[in-house]
């Protein structure tokens, strides 16, 4: 598997990395950002702060004082970051309005990755800031130094509301970044939750597109990331489970390379359900959800009856009865492995409840009804 993965490896950031420990988003926009920035200090003397720190902490009066004293709002700091970037990443909407009114360039590039303030706000998940910057003419289709536009960043970092807003504002749901990845591919690869994948699917995204370089579909990327949540969503959306990448590998091939039993089973079931394989009669029964539900509900009825039936048999040898109970236990194990699924947590308790009441009433009427009447 290591050899197969090596060909996909690239540098960190907005580029696919096929090592599970590296799936966590990189903090390449985190210049000067901290969750503590939102809490102003009541001890510091703001009058001594420089304009960058004042912007990060949202000290509007201090920022205005320095700008009116002659500070150029377009001037980047030593990290090549403008005041608008600092205001955007820290969600300082009032300062963004002020700096733009003083001549700040809304799409000025800055930072190590030559990103716009909109990139920074998007990466941090500040929807209100994204809305504000777009009102001032920010271009969400611009790419950063790693080849990603804003909708790709929002998708890979799981900012569903921003993805929805950008698409509503005209961004192409199937747009490829310079790495050849669509928002759906990024969501499948980096976001292990229902959204934004579910949202993208509602926009009729092309689920069977392959990326530019590896020809991996979103399902390939979900398998490579071990993203079981998104795999389920993509299978429900009738994604082509037999699509091949540039190496001729299907998602099932990749799942087998990773030796992930859950992915292998679900992909095989999807192939069989779509007629790619010719399953046996037993396999067809296993794939039938309605039949599985009936088995889970019916098993307690049979088990309770068998327990009583075996105990009541006119056989003196408890060894024979023990063997019969063992056979019953083996049969139940076979049924559970073959037909029980995740819905057993609701179906099985209901089956036990109904079976208990059913056999209680049957026993009562069969054994005691005549005694009561006569």
In a shared domain, residues 252 and 323: no
Cβ-contact 98, 60 below 8 angstroms: yes
Alpha helices by DSSP H, listed for 157-280, are: 160-168, 183-190, 197-202, 218-224, 228-236, 251-258, 261-273
In a shared domain, residues 36 and 135: yes
Query: Could you tell me if residue 333 is inside a domain?
Result: yes
In a shared domain, residues 253 and 200: yes
What parts of the chain have a pLDDT lower than 50?
Answer: 1-12, 17-29, 34-35, 38-39, 41, 43
Whole-prediction pTM: 0.68
In a shared domain, residues 365 and 269: no
Q: What is the pLDDT of residue 11?
A: 35
Q: What is the pLDDT of residue 374?
A: 58
How far apart are alpha carbons 373 and 241 in whole angstroms?
Answer: 65
> What is the domain extent for residue 297?
283-373
In a shared domain, residues 36 and 137: yes
Domain end marker among 238, 254, 278:
278
Query: What is the tally of structural domains in the chain?
Result: 3
pLDDT tens string 231-283: 999 999 999 999 999 999 999 999 999 999 999 999 998 988 777 765 566 66
Q: What is the pLDDT of residue 159?
A: 98
Query: Could you tell me if residue 141 is inside a domain?
Result: yes
DSSP assignments along 75-126, one per residue? ---TTS--HHHHHHHTT-HHHHHHHHHTT--TT--BTTTTB-HHHHHHHHT-
Q: What is the pLDDT of residue 303?
A: 94
């Amino acid at each position: 598997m290591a050899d197969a993965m090596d060909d996909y490896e690239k540098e960190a950031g907005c580029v696919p990395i096929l090592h599970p420990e590296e799936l966590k988003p990189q903090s390449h926009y985190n210049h000067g950002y901290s969750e503590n920035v939102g809490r102003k200090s009541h001890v510091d003397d703001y009058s001594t702060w420089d304009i960058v720190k004042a912007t990060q902490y949202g000290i509007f009066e201090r920022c205005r004082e320095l700008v009116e004293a002659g500070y150029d709002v377009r001037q980047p700091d030593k990290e090549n970051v403008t005041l608008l970037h600092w205001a955007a990443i820290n969600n300082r909407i009032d300062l963004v309005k002020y700096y733009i009114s003083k001549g700040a360039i809304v799409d000025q590039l800055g930072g190590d990755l030559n990103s716009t303030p909109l990139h920074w706000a998007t990466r941090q998940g500040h929807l209100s800031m994204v809305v504000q910057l777009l009102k001032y003419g920010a271009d969400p289709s611009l790419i950063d130094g790693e080849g990603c536009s804003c909708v790709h960043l929002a998708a890979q970092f799981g900012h569903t509301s921003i993805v929805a807003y950008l698409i509503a504002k005209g961004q192409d749901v199937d747009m490829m970044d310079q790495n050849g990845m669509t928002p759906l591919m990024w969501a499948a690869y980096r976001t292990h939750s229902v959204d934004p994948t579910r949202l993208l699917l509602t926009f009729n995204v092309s689920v069977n597109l392959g990326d530019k370089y590896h020809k991996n579909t979103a399902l390939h990327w979900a398998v490579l990331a071990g993203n079981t949540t998104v795999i389920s969503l993509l299978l429900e959306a009738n994604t082509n489970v037999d699509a091949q990448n540039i190496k001729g590998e299907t998602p099932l091939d990749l799942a087998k390379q990773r030796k992930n039993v859950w992915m292998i089973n679900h992909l095989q079931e999807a192939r069989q359900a779509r007629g790619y394989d010719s399953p046996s009669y037993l396999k067809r029964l296993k794939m039938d959800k309605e039949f599985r539900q009936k088995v889970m509900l019916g098993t307690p009825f049979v088990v309770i009856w068998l327990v009583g039936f075996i105990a009541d048999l006119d056989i003196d040898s408890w060894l024979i009865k023990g063997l019969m109970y063992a056979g019953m236990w083996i049969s139940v194990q076979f049924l559970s492995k073959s037909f029980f699924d995740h819905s057993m947590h609701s179906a099985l308790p209901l089956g036990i409840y109904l079976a208990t009441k059913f056999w209680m009433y049957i026993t009562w009427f069969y054994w005691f009804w005549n005694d009561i009447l006569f």
